[in-house]
Amino acid sequence: MFGSLASLPSIPFASAPTPVEELNRLRDALGGGPRLLVKRDDTIGFAFGGNKVRKMRLVAADAIANQADTLITCGGVQSNHARVTAAAAARLGLRCILVANGAQPERPTANALLARLLGAEIRYVSSREARAIEMEAAAEQEQRAGRRPYLIPLGASTPLGAAAFAHAVTELLEQIPPPDVIVHSSSSGGTQAGLVAGCALAGVRTKVIGISADEPAPALTATIRGLLAGLTELIAPADVTPLARLDAAEIDVDDRFVGAGYGAPTPESREAIDLAARTEAIFVDHTYTAKAMAGLIARVRAGAFSDAATVLFWHTGGQVGLFS
C-alpha cells in the first residue's frame, strides 16, 4: 500500500524508530482518562531532532538527486526547520542560506545559535511576507555565481516533506496497534497532511487532531487539503484503495490554543510545559508542542475521550526553543 512512497530516496540522518512511551504520570495528574502515549520524535538523534528531521530525509535526498550544492530556506529567527536544514547542509557538505524574518539577535541563542554554529549564512528580513522574495533573490544570486541552489519552502511542507510523515505512520504501526487518536502540533501543514495520509493509506481509523501553532483553522485546513492532493500525485494509483482516498480524508485542525499568536505563551501552554516536565521529564516548547500538549490536556479534562481510548501525543520536538 505504501509501495511508491516507501521507495522515495531518503537520507538516513538518524536511526529509526523513535520510541513510543506511556504517559502514566501525566494521566494520573489529569485525574485519569484515556491511555496516553507519546511518540518521541523529540529524541531523534540528529541536530536535536524533531519533526523536521523526518521531512529533511526525503527533501535533502531530492536536493542531492538534483545535484544541488546550496540549500535555501526560511523561517522565524528561532525556526526549528532552519536549524535542521542547516544541519543537513553541514552533514552533506552543502552551502546553506537561511532567510529569517525578525531582527538579527545581538547574542544568538537556541536555534539561531545552532544555525550559526552549523555554518549557515543567515539573511534577515523584516516580515514573513518578505521571506519568499528574499529566497528567490538568493537563489538567483547563487545561480549567477554558477552554483545550484535548491529552494525548500517554509517548514519543508511540500508533498515530499509530508510523505515523510505518511512513512512515520508505518513506523508507528510496527510498534503499536493503531491508536484511536493522534494529537500533534500543526503549523505549515506537512506533518498533519502526512499523518492523515499515512492513516488513510494504512486503512486505520485513527483520528488525527492538529493543534494550530498560529494559523486559523480554515486556512491551515486548506493548506493540508492542498498537500494531500500533491501527495496523491506522488503515490502510484495502484496504492490507492477506496479506503485510502486522500481527497476524502477528514482534516481536524483546532486553533483554540494559539492565544495571542505564534510563539506567544498562554496560561495553558505554560501549564503544559510544567506538567509535562514534572510528571514525565518531557520538554515541550512555547511555540509548538506546549500548545499541542495544552490542547490534549484540555480535551482529557473535558472528558472528550473515553477511558478505553488510546490517545497518542506525537512529540514533534522544538525543545531547543526553551533556551531562546
Ligand X SMILES: Cc1ncc(COP(=O)(O)O)c(C=O)c1O
Q: Which residues bind ligand X (CB under 6 A)?
A: 50-52, 80-81, 155, 157, 185-192, 288-289, 316-318
Q: How far is the CB of 91 from ligand X (least distance, A)?
A: 19
Residue 71, Ramachandran bin (φ over 0: left; ψ between -120 and 50: alpha; else beta) = beta
Q: Which is nearer to ligand X, 85 or 191 (CB)?
A: 191
Q: Which is nearer to ligand X, 70 or 316 (CB)?
A: 316
| Sequence letter at residue 276 | A
Q: Return the ∠ at Cα 134 (arms to 186 and 79), rounded to 5°.
A: 30
Per residue in 4-20, is it b (16+ CB within 10 Å) or e — as a string?
ebeebebbebeeeebeb
- Name the residue number minimizing CB distance to ligand X: 318
Q: Cβ distance 272 to 290 under 8 Å?
A: yes
Q: How far is the CB of 290 from ligand X (least distance, A)?
A: 10
Q: How far is the CB of 141 from ligand X (least distance, A)?
A: 26
Residue 136, Ramachandran bin (φ over 0: left; ψ between -120 and 50: alpha; else beta) = alpha
Q: Per DSSP, what are the bridge partners of residue 74? A: 99
Q: Cβ distance 169 to 18 under 8 Å?
A: no
Q: Which is nearer to ligand X, 142 or 215 (CB)?
A: 215
User: Dihedral of the CA atoms 260, 265, 269, 274 (nearest 10)?
Assistant: -170
Q: Which is nearer to ligand X, 292 or 300 (CB)?
A: 292
Q: Which is nearer to ligand X, 33 or 152 (CB)?
A: 152
Question: Which one of 79, 157, 185, 188 is the catalytic residue?
Answer: 79
Q: Cβ distance 98 to 75 under 8 Å?
A: yes
**159 preceded by a cis bond (ω within 30 of 0):** no
Q: How far is the CB of 185 from ligand X (least distance, A)?
A: 4
Q: Coil, helix or strand for 186?
A: strand
Q: Which is nearer to ligand X, 83 or 299 (CB)?
A: 83
Q: How far is the CB of 251 from ligand X (least distance, A)?
A: 12
Q: How far is the CB of 236 from ligand X (least distance, A)?
A: 24
Phi (first) and psi of residue 259, to 5 degrees: 70, -140
Q: How far is the CB of 80 from ligand X (least distance, A)?
A: 3
58: closest CA among 206, 173, 181, 194? 194
Active site residue 188: no
CA 36 to chain centre: 20
Distance from C-alpha of 277 to C-alpha of 73, rounded to nearest angstrom: 32
CA 305 to chain centre: 24
Q: Which is nearer to ligand X, 10 or 188 (CB)?
A: 188
Catalytic positions are 79
